[in-house]
């Protein structure tokens, strides 16, 4: 009991909230930092960087509405340490707002983003994408082994139904790179836009699933469309969402992959696409 | 014969080349203009605007390599007339370069873009996306009727195998919004990156195919991944490419659609995604 009263606010915060915490330094500038809980092999997990860039618009006092589209370009390796975010609403209309966001470190721009925010209205709604069927519930699927992983996959509870990260790089090329998994933040956390932005980058690079071969990879551009609004995200709460991902094309050093995140009730929360550099 | 010698260079230029022509005004600034040949119902076709933004990086003297990713956000209606483009390489690495590009008109920012350029190398290549099979050759499919269309669809030779623009808004809702078509510039023009950027926005808004109902729509964000390099584009030349498009999800005023452009030989030239505002 005594122990708890000694905890600082930051100790009680979810690691994602710690990782995306920003301090305003001027009208359009914020300071954040990489967080060891989301470390990758080298530098931070790109999903957390994407969430930080989005957060620099979400917490901006001039923000209008909620995000509907986010594109993050990863311009250079992010070094562990402080990140300066410059976040500018370049156009504000009646129901939409357009952002340009830059992430700077000592040696220059490390990432850029554009985002579209909007005030939504109820309209005719429909889903044409197809959620996988006959998927066992999260309780019926074992959690991915975390043996030997960097920090960031430990911040997710991933339960692969299909297309898990290979247990060994045995170079047995697979027919496709499709994955289906239940995933949520670990520890559990109510879903919000920052969490969705990070989750959108949590699909492992498809080339590993496809080729089961060690290779150097790095996302260069990540686009996420948010179909969910905050009311729907609160309904999903802390539960797992169903992720699906697949590659489209690999050619001359770059491949693209596309992913979806579905609510347990079958609502498409986001569709997300990325272009990835690879070296074979 | 005499007549020809009187033609100015601009008369002999393909309308797309006229539409994307830029004049450098300072290190990072260019001036272009909307072109009547690519007019939409109101203002210009968004694909031409996307091509102009990309062109502002393509013609920049500091450009490195060829485009691999482009995201254009349409921030406000583009007015007919002059457009001022500000195009900055914000990060140049050994083999990649990151751009932020803005389009301005009198009343402010009308579009923004980010682009990734790269020097490519030969690597293992593979396609997982599936090109439609049993598609008749372009000669075996009639060209889309241009009756009543604005100018821009007349600048394309579109031959729909499936999912044509509805002949009437009869409000007969369809089961899906999938389209398959052969498409090329009209008049024919050797494919290049600017043409691909424009073509990526030439898929009609899926909600028209799906609902066959009049509604106000506007692309808010368009992302294109270029799998083709310039050598492959020259191979395709002036021939038709096969386009496929489908919607994923419609909800609360926004839907997304995804498209592919395939070479006649079955190479994926681009994958492209967009988020579209709609009002029903």
Above pLDDT 90, what percent of chain A? 95
Q: Cα dihedral sign for B246, B251, B252, B256? A: negative
The confidence score (pLDDT) of residue B11 equals 64
The confidence score (pLDDT) of residue A280 equals 86
Count of Cβ atoms closer than 10 Å to residue B172 Cβ: 10
> What's this model's pTM, rounded to 2 decimal places?
0.96
The confidence score (pLDDT) of residue B8 equals 54
The confidence score (pLDDT) of residue A8 equals 54
Contact between A110 and A101 under an 8 Å Cβ cutoff? The reply is no
- Confidence tier at A2 by pLDDT (50, 70, 90): very low
Q: How confident is the model over A206-226, as pLDDT tens digits?
A: 999 999 999 999 999 999 999
Beta-carbon pairs below 8 A across chains A and B = 216
Contact between B222 and B200 under an 8 Å Cβ cutoff? The reply is yes
Task: Return the residue of A nearest to B220 by Cα.
Answer: A116
| Angstrom distance (rounded) from CA A55 to CA A39 | 19
CB contact under 8 A, B93 and A116: no
Tell me what the pLDDT averaged over chain A comes to: 95
Query: Which of A110, A126, A278 lies nearest to residue B250, judging by beta carbons?
Result: A126
Query: Which of B73, B123, B211 lies nearest to residue A116, judging by beta carbons?
Result: B73
CB contact under 8 A, B254 and A227: yes
The confidence score (pLDDT) of residue B10 equals 61
pLDDT > 60? residue A109 = yes
Chain A residues touching residue B112 (CB < 8 angstroms): 90-91, 98, 100, 114
| Angstrom distance (rounded) from CA B220 to CA A175 | 36
Which residues in chain B show pLDDT less than 70?
1-11
Q: How confident is the model over A11-23, as pLDDT tens digits?
A: 689 999 999 999 9
- Confidence tier at A197 by pLDDT (50, 70, 90): very high
| Angstrom distance (rounded) from CA A132 to CA A262 | 10
Distance from CA of B264 to the nearest CA of A (A): 16
- Backbone phi, then psi, for A56, in 5-degree steps? -65, -20
The answer to whether residue B101 neighbours chain A at the CB level (below 8 Å) is no
The answer to whether residue A96 neighbours chain B at the CB level (below 8 Å) is yes
CB contact under 8 A, B90 and A100: no
Cα-to-chain-centroid distance, residue A137: 23
Instruction: Compute the CA torsion angle A42, A43, A48, A53 (nearest 10 deg).
Output: -140
Q: CA–CA distance from A147 to each of A131, A168, A184 (Å)?
A: 30, 12, 19
Task: Return the residue of B nearest to A107 by Cα.
Answer: B91
Chain B residues touching residue A256 (CB < 8 angstroms): 225, 227, 271
pLDDT > 70? residue A25 = yes
CB contact under 8 A, B102 and A90: yes
């Amino acid at each position: 009991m005594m122990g708890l009263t000694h905890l600082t606010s930051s100790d009680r915060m979810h690691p994602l909230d710690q990782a995306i915490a920003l301090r305003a330094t001027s009208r359009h500038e914020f300071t954040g930092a990489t967080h060891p809980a989301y470390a990758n092999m080298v530098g931070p997990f790109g999903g957390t960087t994407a969430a930080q860039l989005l957060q620099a618009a979400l917490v901006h006092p001039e923000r209008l509405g909620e995000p509907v589209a986010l594109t993050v370009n990863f311009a250079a390796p992010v070094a562990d340490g402080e990140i300066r975010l410059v976040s500018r609403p370049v156009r504000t209309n009646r129901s939409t707002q357009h952002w340009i966001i830059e992430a700077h470190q000592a040696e220059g721009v490390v990432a850029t983003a554009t985002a579209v925010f909007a005030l939504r209205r109820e309209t005719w709604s429909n889903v044409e994408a197809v959620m996988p069927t006959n998927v066992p519930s999260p309780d019926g699927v074992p959690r991915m082994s975390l043996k030997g992983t960097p920090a960031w996959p430990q911040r997710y509870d991933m339960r692969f139904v299909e297309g898990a990260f290979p247990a060994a790089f045995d170079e047995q090329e697979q027919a496709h790179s499709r994955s289906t998994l239940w995933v949520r933040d670990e520890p559990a956390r109510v879903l919000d836009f920052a969490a969705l932005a990070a989750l959108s980058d949590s699909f492992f690079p498809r080339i590993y699933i496809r080729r089961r071969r060690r290779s150097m990879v790095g996302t260069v551009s990540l686009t996420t469309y948010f179909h969910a609004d905050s009311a729907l995200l609160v309904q999903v709460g802390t539960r797992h969402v169903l992720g699906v991902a697949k590659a489209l094309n690999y050619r001359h050093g770059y491949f693209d992959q596309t992913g979806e995140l579905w609510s347990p009730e079958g609502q498409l929360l986001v569709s997300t696409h990325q272009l990835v550099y690879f070296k074979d």
